[in-house]
Amino acid sequence: MPLDSNQKIFHHITCNSKTRIIQPKEHSMSKNLPGLQYDRATDAWSIDKRIKGHGRIRQRLAAKTPEEAEKQFFQTIAQIQGEVNRREEGIMTFREATDRYLEEAQKRSLDRDRDSLRFVAPYIGDLPLANVHMGTLQGFINDRRKAGIASSTVTRDLTIVRRVLTLAARAWRNQDGKPYLSCPPMFEMPDWEDAANPYPLDFEEMERLLKALPPHLRAMSIFAANTGLREQGVCWLRWDWEVAVPELGTSIFITPWRKGIYADGVWPGEKNKEDQLVVLNSTAKAIIETQRQNRQNGCPYVFPYRGKRITRLNNSAWKKAWRKAGLPVCDEYTRGPHNLKHTFGHRLRVAGVSLETRKKLLHHTNGDITTHYSPASVVELLEAVEKIVNLKPVSILRRVI
């Protein structure tokens, strides 16, 4: 029976399990396209084809007409063929460079790098490396600023992008021995003048904060303000890191710079790649003695909560206590526990401790600090931290906001 020209009907003849497409004259394609198929049962078009250098591709199309199917077929094949040609020519996309970087990099902050690269991927992930520059990154920068992300955070993200491009230009080579990128582009890092200032606490402010904190966080905060230990150092502090100093009748803690794997997580290690010496003044030592019952109960951590390690000091209880203590919550100042480290440094300075000794106590590496200590060298540090115990209250002058 002849076909009605107003009807879009496709006749299929099946032979040897292969489908051959017969189309009405008015919908005929320019030529037979091997690999383009139509399934009458589902009324759907699909591709089933092998491409040299890629392999077999099986893909369902969204086309509703033969013309749409032909167009989508050619677009898909062209895209895949372009990818094949690009790989053969040694052209790398930023996404491929990202995958290689994350696979090869050995650093403690790799998870943070992975987040940065994940944020930037929608903007430049599919671009060849030569097309990644400040122009193609501007959309990412603008969107992050609109989202209220600090310029320092965006700078951190862009630094990782620049690192990947630098490796592609200077370290990595394609199969022909040529760099994937001739020269890494220049980067202009954003500065929206939005950086928050640290907020060291005076004695009255510290007292208000401690009263507002729950007991377990109060002990951790007192210890941090008297040792300068970072937040994660306090949270992870373990009894097996304690070292007795019999000559001085005391003990110290040494937090290891190497990564450590424990039953409940991974200690990332000290960021400066140096063991940190934690000396105890009388206040910090008193805190340690009150916490020793945790060791007797079999807990490996100095400051646990309900028998488990506290993952962070900057939690909801800290934030609530900060507000209750009447401390600033504006963007002018930081509001986290790192202010305890700044408080420790400020008090050392007021007490007249020398800059060199302050650097050692604050673990500000300058390349000449040894990781081997003797009781004699510990004495100097103990004397310095003891000076802040009975320090007379001193006001901290700040600009009124």
For the chain, domain boundaries = 11-88, 94-170, 203-386
**SS3 state at 56:** strand
Query: Which pLDDT score, from 0 to 100, does residue 88 have?
Result: 60
Residue 44 has, within 13 A of its CA and on its CB side, a CA count of: 9
Q: Are strands 308-309 and 36-39 parallel, antiparallel or unpaired?
A: unpaired
* Per-residue buried b or exposed e for 319-357, using 16+ beta carbons within 10 Å of the residue's own CB: eebbeebebbeeeebebbbbbbbbbbbbbbeebebeeee
The superfamily in CATH containing domain 203-386 is Intergrase catalytic core (1.10.443.10)
Tens-digit pLDDT profile for residues 216-257: 999 999 999 999 999 999 999 999 999 999 999 999 999 998
What CA–CA distance (Å, rounded) separates 150 from 10?
59
Percent of the chain with pLDDT over 70: 87
Apex 118 CA angle, 116 and 122, nearest 5: 120
Q: Are 388 and 225 a contacting pair, CB within 8 Å?
A: no
Residue 25: the pLDDT is 38
Mean per-residue pLDDT of the chain:
86
The identity of residue 46, as a single letter, is: S
Q: How far apart are alpha carbons 221 and 376 in whole angstroms?
A: 28
CB 401 within 8 A of CB 351: no
- The model's pTM is 0.69
What is residue 20's predicted lDDT score, i.e. its pLDDT?
Answer: 39
Residues of the chain falling short of pLDDT 70: 1-31, 82, 84-90, 365-373, 400-401
